[in-house]
A and B are shown apart, each in its own frame.
Chain A
Amino acid sequence: MSVKYNLSALKAQALQFRREILETLETAGSGHPGGSLSAVEIFLVLYGVVMNHRPSEPKWDGRDRLVVSKGHVTPVVYVTLANFGYFPKEELKTFRKFGSRLQGHVTQKTPGVEFNTGSLGHGLSYANGVAMAAKLKGKDFKAYCIMGDGEIQEGSVWEAAMSAAQYKLDNVCAIVDYNKVQENGLISEIKGLEPLVDKWKSFGWNVIDIDGNDIEALIKAFETFKATKGQPTVIIANTLKGKGVPFMELKSAWHGKAPNKEQLADALKVLY
């Protein structure tokens, strides 16, 4: 079984998402570019290829549930949702402004957002609960949970990891956006995660270790998840923090700072 997709169209869309993320951030004057740019392909593939969802009916019961546990990457979340038609693109200009449905961190005010987050380490337990509910009700929707790499330094993530394995929640798919950088520097220099694949394996998870900016690799990984029974799946998405803008790449300074007008112009010149 293989899904149909148009690789060159998806690649073009990824580039467009990155441009809109940068523009949205510049308009807002604050926000988180680094972890948004690293996760573009993850969001694009989930909404464009992998998940069952209906933008015109965000609470459709049969939808797959996506939990954005790294709740600060609102630029990529909102750009993705706007592009898939959950709300008018024009609304991106209200991001982080008073009265906007597009709050600083994700909330259910935004059509398509399942769960308010913003404090790290919460999403996986919630996803487990959603997955448990699916099993109780005999429904076959999936629970996806996108986490940051720095986020999994939170102990609660590992409490949840143990539970998903204990209850054999094969309808849970965690995605770790392993972009190697957190707010104050390199993960490896602050609190290293390695050996990350072995950690998750030892917790009883099906682990898929891929280039998380590679669209085809992501699609294949999600296919493997859907075919895996009896254990939860985690995709270790090795990505590049700030991907697409060379002067932002791997720079912790761009974790939580918006580009100004000049920086936006510079970024768009070199964006790939």
Chain B
Amino acid sequence: MTMKPTPTRDGFGEELALIGKENKNVVVVSADLEDATRAEYFKKACPERFFTLGIAEQDMIGMAAGLASEGFITVANSFAVFLTNRAYDQIRMDICYNNLNVKLAATHAGVTVGEDGASAQCLEDLAIMRVLPNMKVLCPMDTIEAKKATRAMLTEKGPCYIRLSRAPLPVLTDDATPFVIGKANVMRDGKDATIIACGVMVAEAMGAAEELAKENISVRVVNMHTIKPLDVGVIMACAKETGAIVTAEEHQVAGGLGSAVAEALVQGMPVPMEMVGVQDSFGQTGTPDQLMQVYKLKSVDVALAVRKVIQRKKKV
């Protein structure tokens, strides 16, 4: 039986509560959004190890650093906008510079936040998190992967950021799908081009590949669930074997997954590349689906980019 679309925040919250029961060394700090981030599942399971700091993200991160320095695996949670932008100096100094075992769980990333509008739709978090030394950056594609990513993140030592959705996302993986931090998953094989995507855009990429197959275009789809450390090996193999790359992310085209892939390609194996993402603008109010259309993040937009990159490849 296939699962109905589910927000990745749900997978995070459920797995975190489970791990909390297993491991008394896990603590959670919060800034009054635990209901929405699903960290409240942990709060209910392990109330003695849950600390709210009120609406004070900087304080939350500093507190997390203190707890982590004493040996606790510490998870801080909020919406991506507040967590990464409001507390950036604390993340840089307290967590990354001190290299502490703090996990940043950020929900409500991207335009699929919907009706709350631009202020709540974080489109720059992947960029500003991945430039920080010591930081790992994860962006799971569905709720099952979010569970695995949550467990992997808590198991591995050091700072880690995980980007999660508010919107229900199609569930395309299952319990048997592997998840290793830094190891991308090939979701579908193909030879004419490769789409490298993360988060909600993996499902859109799969839709695009399906459409293009009808035109006899064979497209490989890679789920790049780890933006840092980037799986450069897979990117090089895709460049060599398909000769054209499209990246797709629910994020500004500058600085995020596309930029990371481009950095690897230009240094290793330059091939024609197109980037699907938000083109240097803020979001707005609307339904998630309306906004995905307006910001050209749908499977049709990804398919368009693939056709374009294949045309360029032919000219090379």
Interface residues of A (CB under 8 A from B): 108, 114-119, 121-134, 136-137, 143, 155-156, 159-160, 162-163, 166-167
B121 within 8 Å of A (CB atoms): no
When C-beta atoms are compared, the residue in chain A nearest to B90 turns out to be A122
Q: Shortest beta-carbon distance, B75 to chain A, in Å? A: 13
CB distance from B310 to the nearest CB of A (A): 48
Tell me the nearest residue of chain A to B68, going by C-beta: A129
Do A156 and B64 touch (CB < 8 A)?
Answer: no
A163 touches B59 (CB 8 A): yes
Quick one: CB contact mask for B198-242 with A, threshold 8 Å, 1 for yes? 000000000000000000000000000000000000000000000
Q: Of the 9-residue stretches B10-18, B33-41, B49-57, B271-279, which lies at the interface with chain A?
A: B49-57
B44-91, CB < 8 A from A? 49, 51, 53-54, 56, 58-72, 74, 89-90
CB<8 Å pairs between A and B, sample of 27: A115-B94, A122-B90, A122-B93, A122-B94, A123-B62, A125-B65, A126-B62, A126-B63, A126-B65, A126-B66, A126-B69, A129-B63, A129-B65, A129-B70, A129-B74, A130-B66, A131-B66, A133-B71, A133-B72, A136-B49, A156-B56, A162-B54, A162-B56, A163-B53, A163-B56, A163-B59, A163-B63
Which chain B residues lie closer than 8 Å to A159 at the CB level? Answer: 53-54, 56, 58-59
Q: Beta-carbon contacts of B239-279 to A below 8 Å, as 1s and 0s? A: 00000000000000000000000000000000000000000
> B97, A129: Cβ atoms under 8 Å?
no
C-alpha spacing A119/B67, complex, angstroms: 19
Query: What is the chain A residue whose CB lies nearest that of B92?
Result: A119
Q: A125-B58, A132-B63, A156-B59 are in contact. Are A116 and B93 (CB under 8 A)?
A: yes
A127's closest neighbor in chain B, by CB? B66
Q: Give, as a whole number of angstroms, the nearest-CB distance from B78 to chain A.
A: 14
- Contact present for A115 and B69 (CB under 8 Å): yes
How many angstroms from the CA of A160 to the CA of B90 in the assembled complex?
Answer: 13
Set of chain A residues within 8 Å of B51, measured between Cβ atoms: 132, 167
**How far, in whole Å, are A136 and B94 apart by their CA atoms in the complex?**
21
Most central of B51, B59, B68 by chain A CB within 10 Å: B59
Q: How far is the CB of A169 from chain B (nearest CB, A)?
A: 10
CA distance A239 to B115 in the complex (A): 53
Q: How far is the CB of B74 from chain A (nearest CB, A)?
A: 8
**B27: Cβ under 8 A from any A Cβ:** yes
Interface centre among B27, B66, B94, B97 (most CB of A within 10 A): B66
Interface membership of B293, Cβ < 8 A? no
How far apart sit A114 and B65, CA to CA, in the bound complex (Å)?
11
A132→B58 CA distance, assembly (Å): 17
Are A156 and B93 touching (Cβ within 8 A)? no
Min CB gap A48→B, angstroms: 25
